[in-house]
Structure 1
Amino acid sequence: MNRTAKHLTAGLFALLASTVLPAAAWAQSITIAIGSEPSTLDPQLRDDGGERQVNDNIYETLVARTPTGELTPGLAAEAPSQVDATTWQFKLRENVKFHNGEPLNADAVVASVARVIDPANKSEQMAYFGTIDRAEKVDDLTVNLITKGPDPILPSRMYWMKMIPPGYAKDGDLAGAPVGTGPYKFDSWNRGTDLKLVANAEYWGGEPQIDDVTYRFVTEPGTRLSGLMAGEFDVITNLLPEFTQQVPKFAAVPGLETSVFVLGTDNEVTKDPKVREALNLAIDRKAMVESLFMGYATIAKGAHINPAAFGFNEKLDNYAYDIEKARALIKEAGAEGKPLVVIGESGRWLKDREQIEAVAAYWAQTGLNVTTDIQEFSRYLDSLMGTGPRPDAIFIANSNELLDADREMSFIYHKDGAAASNSDAEMAGKIDAARVETDVAKRKALYDEVQQKGHDLNYTVPLFNLQDIYGMSERMDWKPRVDAKLMVSEMKVVE
């Protein structure tokens, strides 16, 4: 190397040394590609997985779970105590503040509870909170939650309810610029493209290691994959099973989601039990699970209740595959040529579009006139949980973070559920009774009865219990959670 080159090289290194931040500072920015853009950032009104993937880092709950699923204190300082059959008392952590400076106290908890259960707000999350009557302040750091009847899983419910700052909820913009108590604060949202969070340096649990995270909204799994391979993304959701060995890193964990079609049992075609039975018999689930999931899913056993949840009816079996009987049932019902509209979305769940299209093709073989409607996610949520007519059949990968059958029953089987399949008053009565039954054996028996009836009358078309599969860049150090929460504070970057 000549003298001039040496001087240039020395000068270049001196310049870099004076301008480049240490690796520990610049390396702590990550990008996560998720399958759907949040329809809102209000944490209490919609039941939207895209919203949760972001807001789980901004907001917190009174009760939390460990990565393996055990309940643990969150914003509560300790596990709640039961005062009487319908009253649970929570002691709050001291000196916790929302990002805007408002205190996390009993008033904030009371306001949070009141807002989410207010019928005027029409929260889609009421399948989680239907037993809660009200919250009452005891003192600044003590609050009582009162239920409509005995509720043995109230602590699990409070794992789901995010606490909001009451002043900001009244005068601010929860939907567009959220404010919580969590380890990350909202920074910016470029609609249709990305959203950025930054670390909360004053977080009560200690400042997180990753300085900022950008969420990219990428519907197509192939695009998420190519972005990961190109070094554009650090974590991608719903990695296709066939590419687990091609990515730098991947992780798969048993998930809490069960893919299912919810049938509108009062609709013209699907009100006939023979048609609903045919829809279950027409699907070759074994062929689908082998061709689509490569071992990362199992066939759901006769119901959309997750096997990990208390109350799962283990006596149910898979629906058989019998296309000839399905065709005969459609003919007996006089439904040949009648229209059946199948509604779904694409990108939110593992192999969602593929499941929808495969099932629609099976159903078309029965003689029904089947069409599919793949909707943008916000519109899809309105179809699933809105106030309009129930769809003939709508796809969802239904989750159960409460680990109790009440979640899925209240959501889909109960006639007043946000995604109700039916108007069966008897079934609703049993679900209501089970919700407040404290005798474990009696509660389980009620759940078994409800699932058996739903199975026999084919109220839903359950498909698969799904695993959660993630792709990661080489620099990511992260073990996914059983509840599928993307907790950035649990992630690390290694260089």
Structure 2
Amino acid sequence: MKSFRIRAVAFVASAALLALTACSAGSGTSPGSTTGASQSLAIGLVAEPASLDFTTTDGAAIPQALLGNVYETLVKLDESGKIVPSLAKSWTTSPDRKTYTFDLVDNAKFTNDKPFTAADAVFSINRVKTAWTTQLKAAMDVVQNVKALSATQLQVTLSRPSNDWLFRMTTRIGAMFSETGVSALATAPIGTGPFKFSKWNRGDSIVLQRNDGYWGSKPYFNEITLKYFKDPTALNNALLTGTINVIGTVQAPEALSQFTSNDKYQVIEGTTNGEVLLSFNNSEPIFKDIRTRQGIRQAIDHKALLDTCFAGRGKLIGSMVPPTDPWYEDLTSIDPYDLAKAKSLLQASGAAGKTLRLRLPTLPYAISCGQVVKSQLEQAGLKVQIDQLEFPAAWLTTVLKNADYDMSIIAHVEPRDLGTVFGSTKYYTKYDDPTLRQLLAAADTGNEAAQIDNMKKAARRLSEQAAADWLFLLPNLIVADKNLTGLPQNAITENFDLSRLARS
């Protein structure tokens, strides 16, 4: 959720970019070059960040813009999902799988001109435990001790073996900060990345500039503007008129034909890890009865919903695991659409005739799919009241923080977020299942085979217990100028990697 990633949401959710017309390069300009004509790019996304500080503010829009672009991590994911070097050029693990020793690059520096050293890594990891306030910080609890062995060598000791910890270091909790650069994270981020923050026009756009002091390969574009559109038609029109160069997250897939039939554009379609979740507030009495939860799931015709609210694009999955994770199984056969059975279950649980508040973020897919959910649940005997909450601020506060809702719809885009969303009663789903927590713990501490086996069991347990309903998995749909290269086929990380973009 996106943020959420929620990539809740979200991605949970996405962003959009304002109007900058891209200037073409001189004939001698190549990706990574800083010579030639000025290179600028405008990308359209959805869901502007509420803040630029992901240490205290949830939501996927912040890491989407800043992670990997402004902030870097010790390790990162490649396009296949493999953990590869970043600020750490290599690492070793002790035989007991509890101690990690990282050898760091020696030429990275922050945009405040401070060199990046192992001391900054110690500060950043410890700060997750002491200063972060989001639910994601819990992934760092397993760290027992962290110390700098030298300026370029870091040692991290865990309290127990954890398969998940190194993976989490590829996400926002692994971001490296300068101790002298954290005083204004909400408005002035400072990192070691290929771009540096330039300005934020609230309600409109974020501008990033190429970091010409970057330690790695220099980006092709010297300025990239991200502009945020709430209306999918306006987003599409911005590309058609040349105001932007990329639609980073297509919100109206039914309108794709206007781009596929035009040779000025390219359309990329891949997959994401953004599970569009119909979440239940499991702390409420009505949802404590499994028959209510199962009845809701069986009242929803998922294929019809996908065809209606997202033009049939996306994938039906049946639980909180995308196909790009090694423990994926198709669980759509659990609680399949059966209106008669749904009515019977809701009658038996006493939920029939009750009114449920479906509190939706003002995101196009959520509003569109929410109308379908309301119609299908009312056919099964429930009453559904839709409330639209401005996203991100109102939804994050009302639903994610205060759990003041009965049901909601949001795309949880953070990678491998099953445990985050359902493993703690502190999260907004308020799901409490000791068996699930035992499976997650066994998956984290076991060998690779045990991890896969227990994560499969955890995903099946979630589905069989109807902890929520998984409407579909978002596709990665991008439309861009024909000559733009470096766009991701699949979106399986929290960030939109801007450093690989170039013009052919």
Same fold (TM over 0.5): yes
The residue identity in structure 2 corresponding to 1:159 is T
Deviation of residue 310 (structure 1)? 2.8
Higher mean C-alpha deviation, range 371-380 or range 80-89: 80-89
TM-score (norm 2): 0.85
In structure 2, give the amino acid aligned to 1:423: D
Structure 1 pair 148–469 and aligned structure 2 pair: CA distance change class (3 A): same
Corresponding residue number in structure 1 for 2:178: 165
1:97 touches 1:104 (CA, 8 Å); kept in 2? yes
1:180 aligns with 2:191: yes
Instruction: Give the structure 2 partner of residue 394 of structure 1.
Output: 408
> Residues 442 and 206 (structure 1 numbering): CA distance in 2 closer, same or farther, change over 3 Å?
closer
Supply the distance in 1 between the matched residues of 2:327 and 2:144 (Cα, whole angstroms). 24
Residue 425 of structure 2 corresponds to residue 408 of structure 1: no
Mapped partners of 1:41, 1:80: distance in 2: 33
Output aligned runs, 1:232-251, within 5 Å.
232-239=243-250, 240-247=252-259, 248-251=265-268
Matched residue, 2:324: 308
Name the counterpart of 1:290: 307
Please name the residue that 1:7 is paired with: none
Is the CA contact (8 Å cut-off) linking 2:114 and 2:178 kept in structure 1? Answer: yes
Q: Would you say the 8 A contact 2:253–2:313 is kept in 1?
A: yes
Distance 2:361 2:48 in 1: 12
Structure 1 counterpart of 2:453 = 445
Task: Note the C-alpha offset of 1:80.
Answer: 4.1
Name 1:41's counterpart in structure 2. Answer: 52
CA distance in 1, matches of 2:159, 2:332: 31
What per-residue deviation string (whole Å, max 9, x for no partner) do you get for residues 293-343 of structure 1?
A: 44531211x312223213334566353111222122222222233221112
The answer on whether the counterparts of 2:25 and 2:39 sit within 8 Å (CA) in structure 1 is no
Residue 466 of structure 2 corresponds to residue 458 of structure 1: yes
**For residue 396 of structure 2, what is the amino acid of its counterpart?**
L
Equivalent residue for 1:473, pick from 469, 472, 481: 481
2:238 aligned with 1:222, yes or no? no
Aligned equivalents of 2:269, 2:125: Cα separation in 1: 35
State the 1:425 CA deviation.
2.9
Give the Cα–Cα distance (whole angstroms) in 1 for the partners of residues 468 and 331 of structure 2.
17
Partner of 1:353: 367
Query: Of 87, 90, 113, which residue of structure 2 is paired with 1:75?
Result: 87
CA 1:382 to 1:122, structure 2 compared with 1: closer, same or farther past 3 Å?
A: same
- Structure 2 CA distance, aligned partners of 1:422 and 1:78? 38
Q: CA deviation at 1:287?
A: 1.2
Residues 1:493 and 2:503 aligned together: yes
State the AA in 2 paired with 1:362.
Answer: Q
- 8 Å contact 1:45–1:125 — kept in the other structure? no
**What residue number does 1:10 align with?**
none
Q: Is the contact made by 1:344 and 1:375 (CA closer than 8 Å) also made in structure 2?
A: yes
Q: Conserved in 1, the CA contact under 8 Å of 2:44 and 2:249?
A: no
Looking at structure 2, the residues matched to 419 and 237 of structure 1 have their Cα atoms a distance apart, in angstroms, of: 28
Given candidates 276, 282, 295, the residue that maps to 1:265 is 282
Q: Residues 121, 487 of structure 1: CA spacing in aligned structure 2 closer, same or farther, 3 A cutoff?
A: closer
SS at match of 2:181: helix
- Rounded to whole Å, the distance in 2 between the matches of 1:443 and 1:21 is 49
Paired position in structure 1 for 2:343: 327
Q: Higher relative CO (CA 8 A, sep ≥ 6), structure 1 or 2?
A: 2
Contact 1:235 1:471 in 2 (8 A): yes
Which residue identity does 2:289 align to in structure 1?
D
| 1:367 corresponding residue in structure 2 | 381
Shift of 1:382: 2.8
Contact 1:46 1:125 (8 Å CA) reproduced: no
1:385 and 2:400 aligned: yes
- Asked whether the equivalents of residues 294 and 335 of structure 2 are also in contact (C-alpha less than 8 Å), the reply is no
Q: 1:280 aligns with which of 294, 297, 306?
A: 297
SS in structure 1 opposite 2:410? strand
The change in CA–CA distance for 1:489 and 1:86 in structure 2 (over 3 A counts) is same
In 1, the alpha carbon distance for the partners of 2:445 and 2:121 equals 23
Structure 2: runs of 5 or more not aligned = 1-23, 30-35, 260-264
CA displacement at 1:251 relative to structure 2: 1.0
State the match for 2:112 in structure 1. Answer: 100
Separation of aligned partners in 2, 1:361 and 1:434: 39
How far off its partner does 1:22 sit? 6.1
Report sequence identity in percent. 24
Partner deviation per Cα, 1:444-475 (whole Å, 9 max, x = no partner) = 33333333332222111111122110111244
1:262–1:55 CA distance, 2 compared to 1 (3 A): same
> Which of these two proteins has the greater Rg computed from alpha carbons?
1
CA deviations over 1:345-393 (Å, ceiling 9, x no partner):
133xx7332122211221122222211222221222234431x246322
CA contact (8 A) 1:58 1:185 kept: yes
In structure 2, the CA distance between the partners of 1:27 and 1:234, relative to structure 1 (3 Å rule), is farther
1:432 alignment partner in structure 2:
441
Structure 1's 375 and 128: CA in aligned 2 closer, same or farther, altered over 3 A?
farther
Q: TM-score, normalised by structure 1?
A: 0.87
Separation in 1, partners of 2:502, 2:60: 23
1:156-184 per-position Cα deviation (integer Å, ceiling 9, x unaligned) = 22111111111221xx2011110000011
In 2, the alpha carbon distance for the partners of 1:487 and 1:38 equals 17
Deviation of 1:142 after TM superposition, in Å, equals 1.0
**Letter of the 1:486 counterpart:** F
Please name the residue that 1:53 is paired with: 64
